[in-house]
Amino acid sequence: MADLYRGKITALLISLAKDDPHLVKEMIARLKQGGEIESGDLAYLEKIADRWIRIARDNAAKAQV
């Protein structure tokens, strides 16, 4: 039961990282700054957010050409 719940939470967080990666990065930074998480925690989610930020930037650049 707990694994199913964790899977749903993980899917939700990944979806949020795709939809609003800047928000995810900001929230992770706040959690780190507040000492609520360790620097390595949520690294996977942060990488996903970085990837979607790059994709959005690349798409914007392609649209301007």
If you write DSSP's letter for every residue of the chain in order, what string do you get? -HHHHHHHHHHHHHHHHHH-HHHHHHHHHHHHHTTSS-TTTTHHHHHHHHHHHHHHHHHHHHHH-
5-18 average pLDDT score: 86
pLDDT in tens, 19-51: 999 999 999 999 889 988 888 888 999 999 999
pLDDT of residue 3: 80
The CA distances from residue 24 to 1, 12, 62, 64, in Å, are 27, 12, 25, 26
